Amino acid sequence: MLRLGVNIDHVATLRQARYRGLDHGEPCPVEAVRQAEAAGAHGITAHLREDRRHILDRDIWAIRNAVQTRLNFEMANTPEMIDIALRLKPEAVCLVPENRAEVTTEGGLDVVGQANAIAGAAATLGQASIEVSLFIDPDPAQIEATAGTGSPFIELHTGAYAEAHSDEAKRASELERLAKSAELAKSLGIGVNAGHGLNYKNTRGIFAVPHLNELNIGHSIVSRAVTVGLGQAVREMLGLMDGYPPAG
């Protein structure tokens, strides 16, 4: 079964648009956790950025207390975030790159160039029984480097596939790249998740990628929730994910 992790960052983004600097506001990320889980989400993803642009410290602790499924804590590999993760004790951590100028995470980690630092973080988190995933582009060199860090999971960056959705040839090429990356990861004993840019139009296409355990989807679900409600938005996405892997 392909699991759905609902990223609730943009619930906080919407709140911060009106209530930045205040200790209250709406919509509430914790209520989003409750509604997403009630609708069948298998986990909750939240990214505490160094600049605290959406999820705040108070949010991540409240989310940790509210989550009944599993919490996937997205974070940069910094001493501050490692310390928070060790105290927060999420079920999983996904190490991601951060760029202060970006609106959302763009591009994967450079595992090749940061292998020692990432291996150290993976070891520290693993010793605390926290599952570690690296958010990487579908690049063989990055996957092979991941194997050397001891990280048990990768999350394949699906942004290029999502951006190519209207171009059939490019879309097919990106799916092939993702599929080959998943096969390589599987051969190296690395579990495979995926996410970024997945929505109600392109998620079924990801069925061409084998060995997937989990999709982490946020913006499209939160956007859909504006018109149909969060619970319905989650149920619709789960419906699209039903049937993976395809028979045959």
- Of the CA atoms within 13 Å of residue 118, those in its CB half-sphere come to 30
- By DSSP bridging, strand 191-195 and strand 153-157 are parallel
Q: What's the whole-model pTM score?
A: 0.95
Structure token pair of residue 144: 């092979």
pLDDT at 248: 57
pLDDT at 247: 66
Residue type present at position 153: F
pLDDT at 106: 61
Q: Average pLDDT of each block of 10 consecutive residues along the chain (248 residues)? A: 97 97 96 98 97 97 98 97 98 88 66 97 98 98 97 98 95 98 98 98 97 98 98 98 85
Domains of the chain, earliest start first: 3-241 (3.20.20.70)
Active site members: 47, 74, 196
Residue pair 138/184 in contact by the 8 Å Cβ criterion = no
Which residues touch 147 (CB under 8 Å, ≥6 apart)? 188, 189, 190
